[in-house]
Amino acid sequence: MKALVVDDSRAMRTILVRMLRGVGYEVFEAENGQDALDILRTQTPLKLVLVDWNMPVMNGIDFIRAVRTELGERDLPIMMVTTESETNQVVRALAAGANEYLMKPFTESGLIEKLLILGAVPDSCDESES
């Protein structure tokens, strides 16, 4: 299964990539929403996108809207992973088309819990493979 991590912070991308690979994903990376759209247009179907809110070129909200409208990807699970913690920001992200919301800082177990909610944990991942 393939996933995309979109964040302008190389350190955050590294953390998320490591965690996703740990549960069985092949992971692509982008440092802004525009680069992420380019990847979505060229890669075989992705099963999950994790996206930051605040990025240059194209922010996370604009990226989600573009995925849902321009690309017509209505079923692709998208999780906003951000420091934005105000309730109205969560509502905005969900209204734009995010399926889940994870606030930074987070733990690996917190991320996996959200993946389980999305039904986005690969079948090959189980407790014995940790």
Could you report the per-residue pLDDT of 21-36, keeping only the tens digit for each? 999 999 999 999 999 9
- In the numeric block, which tokens belong to residue 89? 């920001």
Beta strands in 16-130 (DSSP E): 26-30, 48-51, 78-82, 100-103
Confidence of residue 70 (pLDDT cuts 50, 70, 90): confident
Model confidence pLDDT, tens digit, residues 76-118: 999 999 888 888 888 999 999 999 999 999 999 999 999 999 9
The letter for the amino acid at 30 is: A
Q: Is 102 helix (H, G, I), strand (E, B) or coil?
A: strand
Selection from 40, 24, 22 nearest residue 32 by Cα: 40
Q: Has residue 130 got a pLDDT over 70?
A: no
Q: How far is CA 107 from CA 39, 57, 58, in A?
A: 27, 28, 26
Residue 75: CB atoms within 10 A of its CB come to 7
Q: Of 3.40.190.10, 3.20.20.20, 3.40.50.2300, 3.40.50.10740, which CATH number belongs to 2-123?
A: 3.40.50.2300
The per-residue pLDDT for 128 is 36
Single pTM value for the model: 0.89
Q: What percent of the chain has pLDDT over 90?
A: 75
The per-residue pLDDT for 55 is 93
